Structure 1
Amino acid sequence: MTETTVDIVLFDGFDELDAIGPYEVFENGAQAGASLETRLVTLAETDLVTASHGLRVEPDGTLGNPDILLVPGGGWTTEGGVRAVVEAGTVPAAVGERFAAGAMIASVCTGAMILAEADVLEGRPATTHAVAMGDLAASAATVHDARVVDDGDVLTAGGVTAGIDLALWLLEREFDAAIAAAVETEMEHDRRGEVVR
């Protein structure tokens, strides 16, 4: 069985739980039997990335060509974070390139705004954090007030802790419901709401 690769792309100002929650789910999934390798990456080589609440993370390397690319949110309504990433354009461009090459793309929270900038969400159902729903709707996505929206090769999750639900859903969808259930039990997390498909 071929190992599925997941890259979670980090940038200064990302929300800690948006990235670390799914990372822990995927790592626990691998320990429970999913053939999965997860990495925390950046676009350019760097020693440390500083998240929105001050956590400093040492990335595993730079963005490759993963099977799944997950984009966290953080900072849409403030300076820095997603707002700065969208304005700079390099992360959205990288997301668009990976999507065109066949990667599954997922976002957590306001990471959906990076997907929108990458033209990944046009005409697709999507969700984001409540503070960005209006902006996401203006981007040509069909916005749903949901915890997780699954449109096949593009998945989006609502705010912050919804990323855990998204990662558990991906474990269930791509690997096995029993693996997802085992991770859910281990993490003492109860998923909320139905996945919109």
Structure 2
Amino acid sequence: MTTPIQIGLLVFPNMTQLDLTGPLQVFAAVPQFVPDPGAEIHLIWKDLTPVSTDAVMVITPTVTFADCPQLDVICIPGGYGTDALIEDQEVLDFVRRQAEGARYVTSVCTGALVLGAAGLLKGYRAATHWTAMDMLGAFGAIPTHERVVVDRNRVTGGGVTAGIDFALTLVGEMFDHPTAESVQLRLEYDPHPPFNAGSPATAPADVLARYEELIAPNKVRRREAVARAATNLAG
């Protein structure tokens, strides 16, 4: 019997729950197909107080920064809550410490900005949500318009639903393709979206314009936070 793979996902206020719960469902299925070594999953935050997400759901952390074991995989989900994290030195210090010993340093959606603010994406190709893609360069990352990007031991997923693709890709990297395919089959992950509006390249022009107008104030705030975080990192 070997030691289970340690997988940790950060939880934090105002996160996008699907950024976490999509990959979590994939990772939770791994022991069914790979009982040895299997996987232990940790939901990590500063304390064990339940955390509110952006979609009613409340998520309870299972371990604190102080008690978290060394992880084989550290994953940072996204959401508007990342705007605060990229300037939170306690969070960034924890992510840096874990990244030193982790086999894979990963993110979903705007979680990539947290990796960037921690100095972990400089010179790496990376994906994030399309609305934040142009902000990755502030941290020395190479913005890459792909659903999942693997660059050495950095694995980053695009926006929200890409978290499932990201996690399946990572399972294929850590174990093998048949294991990832078995998990995919278990989840019946066979998407056929009812509309072709899932990216700015395919969304109708009026839908894209309306959404960009809606998020414009948040994007300004995020860009300002990224600029401050990049300055802190450089200093």
TM-score (norm 1): 0.89
Quote the residue 1:195 is aligned against: none
Cα offset, 1:120, TM superposition: 0.3
Quote the residue 1:140 is aligned against: 140
| 1:23-74, Cα deviation, whole Å (9 max, x unpaired) | 11001122222521112121x2222011122211111112422111010000
Q: Which 4+ stretches in 1 moved above 6 angstroms?
A: none
2:50 to 34, 45, 48: 48
| 1:131-180, Cα deviation, whole Å (9 max, x unpaired) | 10111123211111001111122111000011111111111111121111
Which structure has the highest helix share of the two? 2
| Matches for 1:114-125 after TM superposition, within 5 Å | 114-125=114-125
- Does residue 24 (structure 1) correspond to residue 29 (structure 2)? The answer is no
Cα offset, 1:113, TM superposition: 0.3
- Indicate if the aligned counterparts of 2:9 and 2:77 stay in contact, CA closer than 8 A: yes
Quote the residue 2:227 is aligned against: none
- Indicate if the aligned counterparts of 1:29 and 1:183 stay in contact, CA closer than 8 A: yes
Amino acid at match of 2:56: G
Alpha-carbon distance between aligned partners in 2 of 1:59 and 1:102, rounded to the nearest angstrom? 20
Alpha-carbon distance between aligned partners in 1 of 2:75 and 2:27, rounded to the nearest angstrom? 11
Alpha-carbon distance between aligned partners in 2 of 1:155 and 1:173, rounded to the nearest angstrom? 10
Cα offset, 1:95, TM superposition: 0.9
Amino acid at match of 1:105: V
SS for the counterpart of 1:91 is helix
Cα offset, 1:181, TM superposition: 0.6
Q: Which moved more, 1:65-74 or 1:134-143?
A: 134-143
Alpha-carbon distance between aligned partners in 2 of 1:135 and 1:142, rounded to the nearest angstrom? 10
Amino acid at match of 1:127: A
Alpha-carbon distance between aligned partners in 1 of 2:159 and 2:22, rounded to the nearest angstrom? 12
Alpha-carbon distance between aligned partners in 1 of 2:136 and 2:191, rounded to the nearest angstrom? 24
Quote the residue 2:13 is aligned against: 12
Query: What percentage of residue pairs aligned between the two structures are identical?
Result: 34
Quote the residue 1:78 is aligned against: none
Aligned residues: 186
Alpha-carbon distance between aligned partners in 2 of 1:117 and 1:133, rounded to the nearest angstrom? 14
Structure-2 change in CA distance of 1:32 and 1:102 (3 Å):
closer
- Indicate if the aligned counterparts of 2:155 and 2:170 stay in contact, CA closer than 8 A: no
Q: Which moved more, 1:12-21 or 1:84-93?
A: 84-93
1:60 to 59, 62, 85: 62
Cα offset, 1:130, TM superposition: 0.4
SS for the counterpart of 2:87 is helix
- Indicate if the aligned counterparts of 1:107 and 1:157 stay in contact, CA closer than 8 A: yes
Cα offset, 1:98, TM superposition: 1.2
Quote the residue 1:72 is aligned against: 77
Cα offset, 1:22, TM superposition: 0.6
- Indicate if the aligned counterparts of 1:165 and 1:191 stay in contact, CA closer than 8 A: no
Alpha-carbon distance between aligned partners in 2 of 1:103 and 1:49, rounded to the nearest angstrom? 27
Alpha-carbon distance between aligned partners in 1 of 2:156 and 2:191, rounded to the nearest angstrom? 15
Higher relative contact order (CA 8 A, sep 6+): 1
TM-score (norm 2): 0.75
Cα offset, 1:91, TM superposition: 1.5
| Matches for 1:79-158 after TM superposition, within 5 Å | 81-158=81-158
